[in-house]
Structure formats: C-alpha cells, structure tokens
Amino acid sequence: MEVNVICTFCGSVCDDVLFDIEKFKGKKFCKLGSSKFSKKERLKSPMIDGKEVSYETAIEKSAEILVNAKRPLLYGWASTVNEAIRLGVILTEKVGGVYDQCASVCHAPGTLALIEEGVPGGSLGEIKNRADVVVFWGSNPMEAHPRHPVRYSVRAKGLLIKDRKDRKVVVVDVRKTKSANMADMFIQIKPGYDYAIISALRAIIKGEDSAVPDEVGGVSKEKLKELADLMVNAKYGAILYGLGVTQSRGRDRNVENAIKLVQLLNRKTRWIIWPMRGHYNVVGAGEVPAWEAGFTYAIDFSRGYPRFSPGEFSANEVLQRRDCDAALIIASDPVAHFPKASVAHLKKIPVIQIDPFPNMTTLVSNVVIPSAIAGLEAEGTAYRMDGIPFRVKKVVESEYWSDEQILEKMLEKVNEMLEG
Amino acid sequence: MIEVEIISGRTLSQGATVEEKLTDEYFKAVNYCELSEEDFNALGLSEGDRVKVKTEFGEVVVFAVKNKDLRKGVAFIPMGPYANMVIDPNTDGTGMPQFKGVKGSVEKTDEKVLSVKELIEVI
C-alpha cells in the first residue's frame, strides 16, 4: 500500500512524497529522503554500559544521571518533533541544565543577526510564486536540499513565475558546487570575504561605487556591479543563505550585513532573506524553547530561570570549558559533528543517547535509548524551514518508543526523584 | 607541503549516509580531502593516495581527491569526524566553531586513514 508521507530529513519537509509500506520504499524522494525512508541498522534495545535493559530501567538510570549532575547539557532536538522538544525544555528546567540545539553549529549566528536587525522574510510559497531573482549565498541546495530548487526556488513554476526563463538564479560560493552549475550567474569568492562583498554591494546600490576597489574578495568590481544591477531590478528577490555564511569568518556579522543589504534593496524594490535550514525540525528546536523559555538556543537553567548567552551556554562553549558534568543527546550526533576539543569532554562525562540509529555518539554513551523514527513510526508536529507547521505521520507500527514517550517517562522519573 | 584554507560542508553522499555512521559507506563519504588540480599535482599525488592535513588545532590523515572546480589553495573535506579533527573550535562568543576557512597545510603521507571508531579513540 502506498501512502502519502511527510519527509523528515531536511528543512524542505517535502509533503508530496509517497511511501510503499510493504516494500518499505519511498517514491518521489531525493537521494537524502530515499535513504531516510529505507531500512537500515537500528539500535536494537535500550542499553546501560553496553548491556541490554528494558526501557524503564534505561530511563530510570538516565533520570538518576540527570538529577545527580550539577549542570547537565541537554543537546540535539533538531530531528524530532515539537511535542518531544517541549518536554525536553521542561526537563532541562527541572534538572537545572543547559538546553542547546543543532542550530548552534548551523544557523544560530543568523539568529543573533535577527535579534539585532529583524528579518525581512517570506515563505517558500512566496519564493515559488513571485521570486524573479534568487541568490543562493554560501548554500548548496543540490546537495543539502535537493528538491528545493525544483519545488520552490529554481525550476518551480508559480503564479507570476511561469517558467525557468522568468527567473534569474545566482550562486555565490567559494567552491564551484553542483548548485553553481544550475545558476545563470556564478560568483566565486575567496573564503572569509562574504562580509566585504556584501558591503561592496551595499555601497554600489547606494550610489557610492567610487568607494569600491577594483576587486573585492576575489570578485571584480564589474561583476559586483552586474550583481547589484540584477538585484535592484528584481521585482521580488530572495537571498537564501547557507552555512557558507554562518560558519566562516564573520559568522553572525555576515548575516547582519546581508540583512542590511536587503533593507537597502527594500527601499527600491522587494527582497527577502532566509536561511536554508538543515534538519527537518531545526526550526522547532528553536521555536519551542522560545515559547517555553523566551530563547531559541544556548539556554542555561542552573539558576532556576532561563539565561541566554551563546558565548557561555552553547554546547561547544560548555564542553570546551568542561562546564557540564553529564549530557543527554537526542536526535543528533555531536561526536561526529563537533570539533575534537568539544568531543574530548563528552568522552569523559556520563552520556545518555536517545536516537533511532547507532552513530558516533553511541560509541561514547553510557545509556542508549532507541527511539521510533518520527515521520515513519511516530507522529508529531514539525516546522518547515520557513516556519510553516506540518503534522508528520506515523505509517508503520514499531516496538520502539517515540521520543515523546521516552521523555514523558523520564520527566516523570525526574519529578519523583526531585520530590522524593 | 602546500598551504590551504580548509572548508568543510555537506555533500549528497554524506547526507545520504548520515544515519548510518558506523558503515563503510559513511566512512567513504567523509574520509577525503578535495584539492584543486594544481595543488593535487604539486604534491605529486595520484588517486587513492593519502594526505595529512594539519592546522594549529589538529591533524588528520585522509584520502586525496582531485577537484578541477576548486580554486588553488582551497581544500574541501566533507563535514564530519575527519574535518572536525582540524577545524577551528573557537566560537568568538557566538557558540559557532569555525567550520569553514581554517588555514592549514596538506602533505603527502603513507600513514593510514583511521576508521571512524579509531578516530574517537585518538581524541
């Protein structure tokens, strides 16, 4: 039987994909979604120090570790549903820990820029229907969001954009990526020069092009003027930025400068700027703590009230300062994705892992709790990259507990221990 | 030895194997370093050779791959445990380590490429 599912891999959260339950195979998916919706090795059973135990025993042990820790780090959250994240925020508050999520190594610098500048944004639907110029800046959708170009941003046909020819696509990157091949204009820049190039574009658009040297960050002034011209003459433009902007020199300041560029363009025409969010619910991993505690990441509850400070309470800062004495890692793999200076501390403290799959974090975890795959074996709500909520489905029965069930039980145990 | 700026990032194969990190497919998806044709030839490399990538933050041995679309002086390692041995962990108060644009060097080596499990042990 073929059923409609919602893909729970990347931030595009494709809602037009099909899944054959008997064959356990997807249809219409990209390579990333196909692999998500296919059979692969799972964590077989809850484990404590490598020994198989029941869910109840593993959860009780986890609660004990969290309650006994002075300041546990509860990290991950981007690949689970809002209902589970909500319980995670409450759990972090109860145990006086630090809540942080995958965006802190992804798009969180953009959040810092939004706090300062606000965000002239729009939905994927608007881009599909209206955008006649799309600039992918430091983002590579062909490899990170493979169906985004077809569904929304390049070949998508919409209300006002009826054909690929109606839309100009620009790729700005340090590498000639697969996405560069689909662009009408590719601008190859030197690593770390995003800020300077954005400043040059702002100067040109303001009419101050005499202040711009002949070459900025590996790009000729002539080419920059061509891009500025294209931007000013757009009817509806979109800058879709990726980690090339947030993970390189300048980080949040690059995004801030890009927002200023968009503000300037909005005096002449209509532009938006939006991050190409990675995990399918990394938006939820930020929005849910924002409703619950007022902040989106790097939140410390050790004083009984939430404090936000990315320089202190982001997972990498906490780990490198050796400022947590236990960790709960859910729906994420920091051992594979954090710099080794941070991993070194994770190896030394008790680690609890909740995840459907074995990964590198499993290798350093004391307690391992397998969970159901959201979107396949468990349902819940997720936010697409543009903040549109989707109800992801449960289409397959499984013996695994959902993240929500696991956290509910863990919270119950923690409450018992704290009250007892 | 050549001087490079190291960039890490997503690839399609890395993404497709990211939930199977203990498999050979994932190992193959993340254990290499792409170099420009010029840099690749300057080091006297052929396909399948290994290189040692060094920065002030660490070093790692990976397979060398030629990418004609890369600019001279830029090295690309797929995001993951190998890249993370050499990227800059400092966050400058933002919480974000510098995963892209880290200065380092690349040299040919006969040392072996560690498995994902061995990599954790040396951290």
Asked whether residue A37 is domain-assigned, the answer is no
Residue A23 lies in a domain: no
Looking at the structure, do residues A199 and A341 belong to the same domain, yes or no?
no
Residue among B9, B70, B89 whose CB faces A320 most closely? B89
Give chain A's residues under pLDDT 50: none
- Residue A27 placed within a domain: no
Domain boundary among A218, A243, A275: A275
* Same domain, residue pair A126 and A190: yes
Domain that holds residue A406: 42-105+280-374+399-419
Asked if A131 and A269 sit in the same domain, the reply is yes
Does the pLDDT value for residue B41 go beyond 90?
yes
Query: Is A254 found in the same domain as A235?
Result: yes
Position A1 scores a pLDDT of 87
Interchain pair A360, B116: CB under 8 A = yes
Which of helix, strand or coil describes residue A268? Answer: coil
Sign of CA dihedral B7, B11, B13, B17: positive
- Total-model pTM: 0.97
Residues from chain A that touch B100, judged by Cβ atoms under 8 A, are 174, 191, 243-244, 247-248
* A28 assigned to some structural domain: no
Residue A357, CA distances (Å) to A362, A378, A400, B83 in order: 9, 15, 12, 22
In a domain, A87, yes or no: yes
Which residues in chain A have their CB less than 8 angstroms from residue B70's CB?
175-176
Q: Do B89 and A344 touch (CB under 8 A)?
A: no
Residue A387 included in any domain: no
* pLDDT for residue A128: 98
- The CATH code of the domain that includes A289 is 3.40.50.740
**CATH number, domain at A182?**
3.40.228.10
Bridge-based pairing state of the strands A327-330 and A73-76: parallel
Same domain for A264 and A334, yes or no, is no
Q: Are the Cβ atoms of B22 and A41 closer than 8 angstroms? A: yes
Q: Which two tokens mark A364?
A: 């350093």
Residue of A nearest to B85 (CA): A340
The pLDDT of residue A420 is 81
Amino acid identity of residue A134, one-letter, is V
How confident is the model at residue A210, as a pLDDT? 97
Q: Considering A225, A244, A275, which residue would you say is the last residue of a domain?
A: A275
A410 and A342 inside one domain: yes
Q: From CA B53, how far away is CA B75, in angstroms rounded?
A: 9
Cα separation of B6 and A208, whole Å?
Answer: 34
pLDDT of residue A336: 98
Determine phi and psi for B65, rounding to 5 degrees.
Answer: -130, 135
Same domain membership, residue A403 and residue A300: yes
A119 and A264 in one domain?
Answer: yes
CA distance A101 to A77: 6
- Give yes or no for B121 touching A (CB within 8 A): no
Query: Is A9 close to B10, i.e. CB distance below 8 A?
Result: no
- B94 vs A359: CB contact, 8 Å cut-off? no
Q: What is the pLDDT of residue B92?
A: 94
Q: Report, as an integer, the average pLDDT of B78-89.
A: 98
Q: Which domains does chain B have, with CATH numbers?
A: 2-118 (2.40.40.20)
Our count of domains for chain A comes to 2
State the complex-level ipTM. 0.97
Is there a contact between B98 and A244 if contact means CB atoms under 8 Å apart? no
Q: Is residue A162 part of a domain?
A: yes
Picking from A275, A307, A332, the residue at the C-terminal end of a domain is A275
